[in-house]
Amino acid sequence: MNRFPLRSPRIVAGLALIVVVYLGLGLTNAISRAPSCDEAWFGDAAYNLAYQGFMGTPVLEPTSGLWRSVKLTGIDRHTYWVMPLNLLFNAAGFGLFGFGIFPMRLLSLVWGGVALAAWGVILWKLTGEELLVLGGVGLIAVDFHFLLQASDGRMDVMTVALGWSGVAAYLMLRESRFGLAVAVSQGLTAMACFTHPNGVILALILAATTLYFDAQRIRVGTVGIAAIPYLVGAAGWGLYAAQSPPDFVAQLLGNASGRGPTITTPIAALQLEISHRYLDSFGFAAWSSRAGRLNAIPLVIFLSGLAVCLLVREIRQHPGYRLVIIWTAITLVFLTWFEGLKTPLYLTFITPQYSVLVAVAAGWMWRRHPRWRVVPAAVLLVFVALQAARTPVAASRNPRRTTYDPAVQYLRARFNRSTFIMGSASLIFELGPDWKILDDFRLGYNSGKRAEVVVIDPHWTDGIEMLQTQQPPIYAFITQLLGTEYREVYNQGGYRILIRQPRG
């Protein structure tokens, strides 16, 4: 049995360096980035659970919708449109550390660290190679997209951490205590599924791993043990859903619409996967600068590492390497044909596998072609430099200090908690969750509500412009309302603040 070599000076020093770099880059992200509406929506529900005793999201308008017109029926009383576990976890965090964007992101950084630790255990159990453990975990730790989610208040990194911890637990326990391995690993993976629906990816990966190593050991009782945590989670969620079944159905189905499966249109799904998930995220978007085009290089290295691992027979025949390839294939198929949103946020479910395969390919080239060692060394140097540099380069623009903070300071200086403001929910992090903020970029079209102050940030601007083609009557309503009843008093850094003019 491979025991993790924590007594090895090389492993200890390497892991310490990885932790320092990870925390440095993660904290840079967490401090410099302006809060997002996603973080505020989920943070509002967690805050209300922690301090008000109910898990509603009153910052959202029940009669309106989000960017994809998700139905929000009853959202001010119950939050059903997302899986519950991350909300519960953040509620506990807010109870201990207080409400705020930094505590929320700090908890995500902890989950990112859990994911890195899980990968370290996984790679050691699969290969027993110290350098691969350090290389694989190190490449994940500097990956821009992994870091982005590990320093964000969304639930994606928690899902990834729980899922890969389940795989790590299975590999650690399977040889000596198979039943316990199944129970613990499936328990962690079930938690991942009740954190985000993409936890299904990790459930499939765990199932494939179990079949890969122990298909002959599976019995009816094994399946029963594996099912228990999912049934328990479903029962708990069902009790909460029973408080308002119509709201549960409306919110959950509304949020599920447009996400897939896309297997019915496989070619179109593949095209969207390439253009939206990859090209837009790696320097090929229409808005990318010339310097931003350099981000295409890590993508090329990711794909090259995958290609080497697929083409080299020695790698394919290695039991551990082959399993990582299988995991990558499962994730690629799911994201391409069973997830229709195509958001770059979900890259964190696939880039760790890419990173590990790059490390595997580089290690193989280093061992088998010593005369050409300069090639993998140079490729890894460029890869790490570009990946690690992307975070401080983005932070140097400091969007929070230059855009979000000045707008919040303007609002705080001129208005108070009783002022009815329509604007992005992200305002609650600095103004406070007790301010009367409503995130309804349709400006009361459905509800008839009229705000004293309207705050239009870049995300709201995009949403309103989207209505021009998707829902012209609402766009016309917003345009007329802002033009006749409101006066602009602030315009800076992409933020506009308008106040309602007195009638007569």
Asked whether the beta carbons of 466 and 65 are under 8 A apart, the reply is no
Q: What tens digit of pLDDT does each residue of 52-63 get? A: 999 999 999 999
Neighbours of 382 (CB within 10 A): 14
Percent share of the chain, pLDDT over 90: 89
Q: Is residue 17 very low, low, confident or very high in pLDDT (cuts 50, 70, 90)? A: very high
Q: What is the CA radius of gyration of the chain?
A: 24
Model pLDDT, residue 2: 59
Please give the average per-residue pLDDT across 390-418, as a whole number: 94
Residue among 195, 17, 198, 36 at smallest CA distance from 116: 17
Measured CA to CA in angstroms, residue 36 lies from 158, 159, 265 at distances of 17, 19, 32
Neighbours of 200 (CB within 10 A): 17
pLDDT higher than threshold 80 for residue 181 = yes
**Distance between CA 399 and CA 493 in Å, rounded?**
9
Q: What tens digit of pLDDT does each residue of 117-131 get? A: 999 999 999 999 999
Residue among 391, 313, 327, 314 at smallest CA distance from 355: 327
Q: Is residue 326 very low, low, confident or very high in pLDDT (cuts 50, 70, 90)? A: very high
Q: What tens digit of pLDDT does each residue of 214-257 get? A: 999 999 999 999 999 999 999 999 999 999 999 999 999 888 87
Please give the average per-residue pLDDT across 22-42, as a whole number: 97
Q: Is residue 430 very low, low, confident or very high in pLDDT (cuts 50, 70, 90)? A: very high
Q: Which of 132-141, 263-272, 375-384 has the lowest mean pLDDT?
A: 263-272
Beta-sheet pairing, 421-422 with 486-492? unpaired
Model pLDDT, residue 245: 97
Q: What tens digit of pLDDT does each residue of 434-445 get? A: 999 999 999 999
**Distance between CA 360 and CA 302 in Å, rounded?**
11
**Distance between CA 213 and CA 236 in Å, rounded?**
32
Model pLDDT, residue 9: 82
Asked whether the beta carbons of 204 and 29 are under 8 A apart, the reply is no
pLDDT higher than threshold 90 for residue 289 = no
pLDDT higher than threshold 90 for residue 286 = no
**Distance between CA 347 and CA 253 in Å, rounded?**
24
pLDDT higher than threshold 80 for residue 152 = yes
Model pLDDT, residue 357: 98
Q: What tens digit of pLDDT does each residue of 411-423 get? A: 999 999 999 999 9
Beta-carbon contacts of 462 under 8 Å, excluding residues fewer than 6 positions away, are none
Model pLDDT, residue 180: 98
Question: What DSSP line would sit under 95-110, residue for residue?
Answer: HHH-SSHHHHHHHHHH
Model pLDDT, residue 504: 57
Residue among 43, 24, 27 at smallest CA distance from 35: 43
Mean pLDDT estimate for the chain: 95
Residue 78, classed as helix, strand or coil, is: coil
Beta-carbon contacts of 373 under 8 Å, excluding residues fewer than 6 positions away, are 365, 366
**Distance between CA 2 and CA 53 in Å, rounded?**
47
Model pLDDT, residue 331: 98
Cis peptide before 84 (omega within 30 of 0): no
pLDDT higher than threshold 70 for residue 367 = yes
Model pLDDT, residue 3: 64
Model pLDDT, residue 365: 97
Percent share of the chain, pLDDT over 70: 98
Residue among 222, 229, 225 at smallest CA distance from 192: 229
Q: Is residue 288 very low, low, confident or very high in pLDDT (cuts 50, 70, 90)? A: confident
N- to C-terminal Cα separation, the chain? 82
Q: Which residue has the tokens 């479903």?
A: 234
Q: Is residue 261 very low, low, confident or very high in pLDDT (cuts 50, 70, 90)? A: low
Residue among 380, 362, 248 at smallest CA distance from 309: 362
- Written as six digits, the tokens of 437 are 């903020």
